[in-house]
C-alpha cells in the first residue's frame, strides 16, 4: 500500500489557481478528515502568514462559504509561508525548515510551466525530493520535444510513480463514470467495436471567450489547451481495452496503448477557427492565427477501432457551454419496417452528457401507437447528476496525497498524445473566422461529412 504524504508544499500559493481551486479543495479534504498535515505555501510575494490565511479564507468563502469552522481553523493552523525566489537555493533551505519533522512531502507546482524544471531541480539540490512526490499542473509541455525534455527533468528528480501530472478533467465524476459504465456492464462489450459503431463525437463548448488570458492563449490555442489533453483523455477512456485490474498502472497502460494507436494528424484532419473580435482582446496580436475553435478527425489504428472516425471539437464563444460524447451505432442491416429506410433521424446512439450536468442516455426506436409499424426514437436515461459529489481538485489532490495515480497522466501517454498532434502544431491551414454565439466555422460540418453532422450539446439536462 502506498504511503500517505505527511506534508503539502504548495508552490504558487498566492496565485489564481490556488485561490480559485486549490484552497477550496483543501478545505473540502479537511472537512472529511483527509488533510491534517503541515501545508507550506511558497511564493515570491511579500506576504505575512496572516496575509496567507486571509487569502485562504477569502478563497473558501468565495467558493461556497464556510460551513465547518473547525475544519477551517485546522486548515489555517497548518499553514506556513516561505517567501522567496524559485531560483534561489535559500528558498528551498527555508522550505525544508518549515517542513519540520515531515519526511514524505508532496510538492504541488501551481506555477507557470516555464518554472517547472527550475523548481524540480531546486527541490533535488535541497534534498526535498527524497521520499517525496510532485504534482505538476498542465500544460505538460507545448509539443513533443518540450514534453520529452520536461519528462527527462522530472524523472531525473522523482521516480515515475511519484510524478502526478494533473488534469482536473480526469477528476470529474462524469468522466470517471465513462470508465465505470464501460467495464461494469456486460451488455456493452459485444457491440463496443468497429462492427457496430459508426462514429464517435466528443464536444466541449464554451460560451465565454479568453477573458484576461490573452497572453497565455496566444502561446497555446484550442488544440493544445483542450483537444490534446482533455478530449484525448476522454477518447482514451472510450477506446481502451479492459484493464487487468483497477490498479492505476493497469488503467494507464491501456490508455497509453490508445494514444500510441492514434494516427498522427494531417492538416486536412482539422479545422481551425477564431471568433470574430479575438484579435481585439488584450495581449492578442493584431494578425493572430491562434485558434479559439478546433475540430479534429481522429483515427485509432487498433483491431477494435480500425476505420471508426472519432470527431473531437472544442471552442470558445460558441452557442452553448456543455460537454457531451455521442457514440453513434450503425443502422440495422435490413430495412424491415416502413420507416427504417428513412434517413430523417440519427441511428441509435449512446450519449454521455458530462457538463453542465451529468447524464447517460441510450437512444432507441420505439413503435408508435397504431396499426402501422412506424416508430420514433426516444432517449432512455440511465443515470443523472448525483448530490454530494467531490470536486475534481478535491479528488485528485486527495488521490495524489494517498499515492493513487489512476486519474493522472503517465509519461508515455503524455508523449504519445503529443506525437499525434505534433505534425499539425505548425503545419496547418489558417484560422477561419466565426461569429460569436455560433457553432464555429461551417467547414467543420464538412469535416464530419454526414447528413446529420455534429451533435450540439444542450444547456439543459
Residues 6+ apart with CB under 8 A from 179: 237, 251
The CA distance from 240 to 238, in Å, is: 6
**How, if at all, do strands 105-109 and 39-43 pair?**
unpaired
Start-end of H helices in 142-206: 144-157, 173-184
Please, what is the Cα angle at 291 between 287 and 294, to 5 degrees? 155
Q: Are 118 and 87 in contact (CB under 8 A)?
A: yes
Q: How many angstroms separate the Cα of 395 from the Cα of each of 20, 260, 407?
A: 16, 28, 9
Q: Percent of the chain having pLDDT more than 70?
A: 95
Q: CB-hemisphere CA count at 13 Å for 386?
A: 11
Residue 126: φ, ψ to 5°: -85, 0
If one compares 213 and 51, the residue with the highest pLDDT of the two is 51
Give mean pLDDT, residues 8-15.
96
Q: Return the residue matching grid coordinates 508515455.
A: 412
pLDDT exceeds 90 at position 404 = no
Query: Which of 19, 55, 230, 428 is flagged as catalytic?
Result: 230
What pLDDT, in 10s, does the model give residues 145-182? 999 999 999 999 999 999 999 887 777 777 888 888 99
Helix (H) or strand (E) holding 327: strand 322-329
Q: Residue 190 has what DSSP assignment?
A: G
**For the chain, what percent of residues have pLDDT higher than 90?**
71
What pLDDT does 74 receive? Answer: 95
Q: How far apart are CA 288 and CA 265, in angstroms?
A: 22
Q: Please report the domains of the chain, with CATH numbers, ordered by start residue.
A: 7-137 (3.40.50.720), 170-389+412-448 (3.30.360.10)
Cis peptide before 356 (omega within 30 of 0): yes
Task: Summarize pLDDT for 151-161 with one digit per residue, the tens.
Answer: 999 999 999 99
**pLDDT for 41:** 97
pLDDT for residue 461: 46
> Is 4 tagged catalytic?
no
Question: What does pLDDT average to over the chain?
Answer: 91
C-alpha cell at 96: 525544508
Closest residue by Cα to residue 408 from 207, 185, 188, 167: 167
pLDDT value for 387: 56
- Condensed to tens digits (0 to 9), the pLDDT of residues 124-134 reads 999 999 999 99
pLDDT at position 137, please? Answer: 84
Furthest CA-CA distance within the chain:
84
* Whether the predicted pLDDT of 450 surpasses 80: no
User: Do 23 and 39 touch, CB atoms closer than 8 A?
Assistant: no
Q: pLDDT tens digit string along 271-329?
A: 999 999 999 999 999 999 999 999 999 999 999 999 999 999 999 999 999 999 999 99
* pLDDT above 80 for 372: no
The Cα–Cα gap between 223 and 292 comes to: 8
Cell match 477501432: residue?
305
H-state helical runs in 166-313: 173-184, 214-219, 221-222, 232-239, 248-261
Count of CB atoms situated within 10 Å of the CB of 203: 24
Amino acid at each position: 500500500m502506498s504511503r500517505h504524504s505527511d506534508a503539502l508544499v504548495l508552490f504558487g500559493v498566492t496565485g489564481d489557481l490556488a485561490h480559485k481551486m486549490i484552497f477550496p479543495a483543501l478545505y473540502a479534504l479537511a472537512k472529511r478528515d483527509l488533510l491534517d498535515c503541515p501545508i507550506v505555501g511558497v511564493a515570491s510575494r511579500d506576504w505575512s502568514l496572516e496575509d496567507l490565511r486571509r487569502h485562504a479564507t477569502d478563497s473558501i468563502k468565495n467558493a461556497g462559504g464556510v460551513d465547518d469552522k473547525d475544519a477551517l481553523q485546522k486548515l489555517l493552523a497548518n499553514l506556513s509561508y516561505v517567501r522567496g525566489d524559485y531560483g534561489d537555493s535559500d528558498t528551498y533551505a527555508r522550505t525544508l525548515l518549515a517542513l519540520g519533522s515531515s519526511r514524505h512531502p508532496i510538492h504541488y507546482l501551481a506555477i507557470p510551466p516555464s518554472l517547472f524544471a527550475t523548481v524540480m531541480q531546486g527541490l533535488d539540490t535541497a534534498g526535498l525530493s527524497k521520499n517525496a512526490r510532485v504534482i505538476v499542473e498542465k500544460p505538460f509541455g507545448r509539443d513533443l520535444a518540450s514534453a520529452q525534455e520536461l519528462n527527462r527533468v522530472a524523472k531525473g528528480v522523482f521516480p515515475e510513480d511519484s510524478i502526478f501530472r494533473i488534469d482536473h478533467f480526469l477528476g470529474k465524476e462524469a468522466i470517471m463514470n465513462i470508465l465505470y459504465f464501460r467495464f461494469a456492464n456486460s451488455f456493452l462489450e459485444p457491440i463496443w467495436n468497429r462492427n457496430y459503431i459508426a462514429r464517435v463525437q466528443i464536444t466541449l463548448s464554451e460560451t465565454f471567450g479568453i477573458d484576461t488570458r490573452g497572453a497565455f492563449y496566444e502561446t497555446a490555442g484550442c488544440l493544445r489547451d483542450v483537444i490534446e489533453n482533455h478530449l484525448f483523455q476522454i477518447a482514451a477512456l472510450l477506446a481502451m481495452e479492459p484493464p487487468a485490474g483497477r490498479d492505476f498502472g493497469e488503467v494507464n497502460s491501456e490508455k497509453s496503448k490508445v494514444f500510441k494507436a492514434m494516427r498522427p494528424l494531417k492538416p486536412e484532419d482539422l479545422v481551425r477557427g477564431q471568433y470574430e473580435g479575438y484579435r481585439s482582446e488584450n495581449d492578442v496580436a493584431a494578425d493572430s492565427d491562434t485558434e479559439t475553435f478546433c475540430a479534429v478527425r481522429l483515427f485509432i489504428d487498433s483491431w477494435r477501432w480500425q476505420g471508426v472516425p472519432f470527431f473531437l471539437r472544442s471552442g470558445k464563444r460558441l452557442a452553448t457551454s456543455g460537454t457531451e460524447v455521442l457514440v453513434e451505432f450503425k443502422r440495422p442491416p435490413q430495412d424491415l419496417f416502413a420507416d427504417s429506410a428513412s434517413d430523417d433521424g440519427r441511428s441509435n446512439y449512446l450519449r454521455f452528457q458530462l457538463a453542465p450536468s451529468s447524464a447517460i442516455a441510450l437512444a432507441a426506436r420505439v413503435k408508435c401507437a397504431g396499426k402501422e409499424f412506424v416508430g420514433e426514437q426516444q432517449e432512455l436515461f440511465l443515470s443523472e447528476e448525483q448530490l454530494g459529489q467531490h470536486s475534481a481538485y478535491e479528488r485528485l489532490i486527495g488521490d495524489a496525497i494517498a499515492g493513487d495515480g489512476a486519474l493522472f497522466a503517465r509519461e508515455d501517454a503524455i508523449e504519445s498524445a503529443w506525437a499525434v498532434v505534433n505534425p499539425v502544431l505548425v503545419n496547418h491551414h489558417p484560422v477561419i473566422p466565426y461569429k460569436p454565439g455560433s457553432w464555429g466555422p461551417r467547414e467543420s460540418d464538412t469535416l464530419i461529412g454526414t447528413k446529420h453532422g455534429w451533435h450540439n450539446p444542450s444547456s439543459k439536462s
